[in-house]
A and B are shown apart, each in its own frame.
Chain A
């Protein structure tokens, strides 16, 4: 809760007087003018696939064989395996007393390392997620505090163990009681994040007076707030908070436009090096191929990180319901074959789906590895984690959570290795990733008891 209050307090304090120069001092541009040793910030991104993996096709045979002969599922990552890290021995959250809800909880425990409150199971009542902890810390420095993407509407209805249906399809929680919705339409992300005009021809340009107008609206809601009971005040605050961040984002876009104009006029930007790659072009696919849909969401993540529009993202590559992969030549939805009982045909399908998902992740991180930033690449300054909330979908086990980390986290992560000697849990993993991203924690995340030092560069 304290994190949330910090951000609220921060935003509230700034609300009225948020001018452009202030953004600069807040670190929108981070670099102090005139200083040449600008260090790009660390960005943290998560990408999810449900239902676990085929274990012998995912886990490397041994630490020694990792680079030379990686497991089949990782084929697409081969060119950049030296920038990846794998760790076996991270246990997921044990889901008792919700034993009948393996799929409702695989996603919602993934970044919280916590279980829902059993007494309030029909409401959202879990814990702030790792990405939102980071957003509370660094979100004030960028146009968007965090970016949430998905490829399926988050409206799945299946009541497992009487749990709120939101648990099924959300991974990101702004507070214990607020699930962060994800954006599934790439065009509207592009429009709103980067002010690009979409094909619909609708201009995303904002009115210069909008920011001040919103400020008056927020101020005017005070009177209404007083009239409402406490629980309603919270709802109103939630809305007003998000209006405030809209206000702030408009200011950030104005700032960027000003900076772009200066650059055009020959005045170098404070933030970027001349050698940095220009922002990537994002094309919205025309057809309905799943690979292209998943890739455009990858592109948006890359662009958001590259332009420092946000520093933390979650991307639910698919949710635990109903995704099918016609490109792979079969129509089964993902969940069906995961209960394969070692039947060869079903195992083959699950392996193909897993590889397909990792291929998209590889597409994203390879793109990052090809973009110059500062003295290295964009990927050097990122921590990108791909993973699933189950290890074995067949039996719903979560002994060793499957995940892959790509990127050096600004030099904090020791990559090019497979470690199979670690014993830790999901909370430990998230705690470590936040520490590597430079986020100070006042308490461990969920079930965490320690940091996993082995992952870090000595």
Chain B
């Protein structure tokens, strides 16, 4: 038996043991718990808050219910559930319920998830036209923005579909003569061969004969209407550009009948990889490897990943993923009070975005550890942004440059102005929003949404709070029992960042004039008293940091939310990543060679 086979066997027998343990824990600690504390509202045909656990209880491994269980974990962990006026479980029962649910992933059947066809995003579409026809990627800028979210793309209105036609027309106009010559080939070239070449590139896979028939018919349509050869070929190219095969990533072959799970073909894989890292179509090298059927080999795939990441086009990974992860995608349109923060000009917003981008890219390209997202002693500044750091004397000019930081309170995403600004309100900081951000985006915990009818801070009695700092007001708000459970976790984290104002400047006093009190604690009782100490505590949780980033990037790569089986895969990936010092390129390589990235379920 080979080493690899032995390892695989060990892995599957380990899994079996875990499955049995999970089954037992579910029976003992979940079923009883749900019957005692949840069923009154979420069982027996009752679905309070839209939640019914009856079927989920019978099929714990069903991926359709994993979201429900994740919500249950979040709510029970935060003591939001069972509600205060209902019977309460003992702390031991609660903990055992949570521990048992944490194992529920082991009950999921092996499943890579579907490879749902999706339309190219606006950015991808523009980039693809750039690489295909040599036009400016901004040609697609009038398309509507997508609603981001786990693989969700809004649908198109007819008027917007027409924009695709308009853009195709404009792209043909902008296309340069030499590009046309390259695409259309010699004068005597067979039209069908020209079509085959165009479609191979544009559809990102070999076209079928039927697809070529259509394109040749479009050419003939042009010729019958007395267009010259080049004009008829341009009409054919336009047909390529508005074809669903161009706008969607589609499979090249029929799925084999009788199979439930199949590997992605190499062409799909090339597209998946290229759109993930570059937000554009596969280049020649990737296409060639796909044609040769070699791309799916792990070593080839890993080498290609390294190559793609080294290329400057991989900034797409930040624009598409990083900016959403950090929240800095919102910077451009977020409202700030113009009187309080006249500094928030478009130039400063751009500099904040670029700081986050260059920092993200430095970690990816230099293959640094995931921990350096939190703890680093450098950043990227220009003259505009340096003012926020109080470094305007040292750093001038419009160009962003790498800067070594001496203040340990700075450095890393927690202390980055772009992040601090997007987690603030228009007029002031929000310890709550920052706390939620750290828990959800950095440590990967799920925070249950605020209960309804929460009175905001603004509603507090003016006289009572007149001389209180924001921290004191927030704490007053927490005396409300409904809110206290979550806020005693959230707020202290946010308080640790109160030294940074709503646009990320350092301050020692709150707006009320009271001194900033940055003392707080993380769940689990670790105390800190400054941003520097908070950063150190979070940086020490490298497994949580890596798990969070791995899960978020995997979901982005797959364009869907993660379900039970994915979490088993993530566990396996984490072992490899940890062994290699939590390095960022290892994390990305693990994702693109992972089971759900390489395979797809064929849906009934």
Contacts and interface: CB of A to CB of B under 8 A. Distances in A.
Contact of A216 (B49, B217, B245, B255): B217
Interface string A311-330: 00000000000101000000
B163 A188 contact: yes
A242 B338 CA distance: 42
B165 A155 contact: no
Contacts of A287: none
A274 interface: no
Question: Which size class do A's interface residues fall under?
Answer: 35 or more
| Of listed A100, A122, A339, residue having the most chain B CB within 10 A | A100
B254 interface: yes
Contacts of A443: none
B282 interface: no
Nearest to A227: B254
Contacts of B114: 229, 231
Contacts, number: 206
B242 A217 contact: yes
A239 B247 contact: yes
B157 interface: yes
B154 A210 contact: no
Contacts of A213: 218, 221, 235, 238-239
Question: Which size class do B's interface residues fall under?
Answer: 35 or more
B113 to A, nearest CB: 12
B147 A239 contact: no
Interface in A86-132: 97-100, 102, 118-119, 121-124
B142 A216 contact: no
B539 to A, nearest CB: 27
Contact of B211 (A99, A100, A223): A223
B214 interface: yes
A352 interface: no
A230 interface: yes
A357 to B, nearest CB: 18
Interface in B425-479: 426, 449-453, 456, 458-459
A145 interface: yes
A262 interface: no
Contacts of B149: 157, 164-166
A72 to B, nearest CB: 25
Contacts of A145: 158
| Of listed B148, B165, B248, B561, residue having the most chain A CB within 10 A | B165
A80 interface: no
A197 interface: no
Interface stretch (B82-90, B92-100, B315-323, B329-337): B329-337
Contacts of B145: 153-155
A216 B238 CA distance: 12
Nearest to B71: A162
Contacts of B215: 220
| Of listed A181, A182, A191, A210, residue having the most chain B CB within 10 A | A181
Contact of A204 (B148, B166, B333, B338): B166
A33 B118 CA distance: 47
A192 B158 CA distance: 11
A180 B157 contact: yes
B199 to A, nearest CB: 11
B21 to A, nearest CB: 30
A359 to B, nearest CB: 22
A230 B602 CA distance: 10
B67 interface: yes
A313 to B, nearest CB: 12
Interface string B328-359: 00100111011100000000000000000000
A254 interface: no
A155 B244 contact: no
A236 B117 contact: yes
Contact of A148 (B157, B247, B253): B157
Contacts of B169: 206-207
Contacts of A181: 144, 154-157, 160
A288 B243 CA distance: 37
A178 interface: yes
A422 to B, nearest CB: 29
A273 B511 CA distance: 66
Interface string A213-253: 11011011101101111111001101110110110010000
Contact of A339 (B242, B335, B451, B458): B458
B5 interface: no
A174 interface: yes
Given A179-B154, A181-B155, A228-B250, A220 B142 contact: no
B222 A209 contact: yes
Contacts of B166: 191-192, 202, 204
Contacts of A180: 155, 157
A242 B161 contact: yes
A331 interface: yes
Interface of B is mostly: loop
B245 A224 contact: yes
A390 B597 CA distance: 44
A157 to B, nearest CB: 7
A161 B116 CA distance: 26
A230 B603 contact: yes
A160 B160 CA distance: 28
Contact of B119 (A174, A191, A231, A239): A239
A100 B452 contact: yes
A158 to B, nearest CB: 10
B454 to A, nearest CB: 8
A52 B451 CA distance: 21
B159 A193 contact: yes
B48 interface: yes
B449 A97 contact: no
Nearest to A99: B452
Contacts of A207: 169, 235, 238
Interface in A25-41: none
B221 A122 contact: no
Contact of B49 (A97, A166, A236, A243): A97
Contacts of A230: 603-604
Contacts of B214: 216-217, 219-220
Contacts of B335: 322, 324, 333
A339 B150 CA distance: 32
A209 B235 contact: yes
B146 interface: yes
A212 interface: yes
A449 interface: no
B35 to A, nearest CB: 21
B162 A174 contact: no
A185 B239 contact: no
Contacts of A322: 333-335
Contact of A239 (B47, B71, B244, B451): B244
Nearest to B208: A223
B225 interface: yes
A217 B243 contact: yes
Interface of B: 47-51, 67, 71, 114, 116-119, 142, 144-150, 152, 154-163, 165-166, 169-170, 208, 210-211, 213-215, 217-218, 221-222, 225, 227, 235, 238-239, 242-245, 247-248, 250-251, 253-255, 330, 333-335, 337-339, 426, 449-453, 456, 458-459, 561, 602-604
Given A206-B169, A224-B211, 12 more contacts: A97-B49, A153-B333, A162-B449, A166-B154, A202-B166, A217-B214, A217-B243, A221-B243, A221-B244, A229-B603, A236-B248, A242-B156
Interface of A: 97-100, 102, 118-119, 121-124, 144-145, 147-148, 153-155, 157, 159-162, 164-166, 169-170, 174, 178-185, 188-189, 191-193, 202, 204, 206-207, 209-210, 212-214, 216-217, 219-221, 223-224, 226-232, 235-236, 238-240, 242-243, 245-246, 249, 322, 324, 331, 333, 336, 339, 341, 396
13 contacts: A100-B451, A183-B157, A183-B159, A209-B235, A220-B211, A223-B210, A223-B211, A228-B250, A235-B117, A246-B162, A331-B426, A339-B458, A341-B459
Give the top 3 A-B pairs by smallest Cβ distance, nearest first: A118-B50, A220-B214, A99-B452
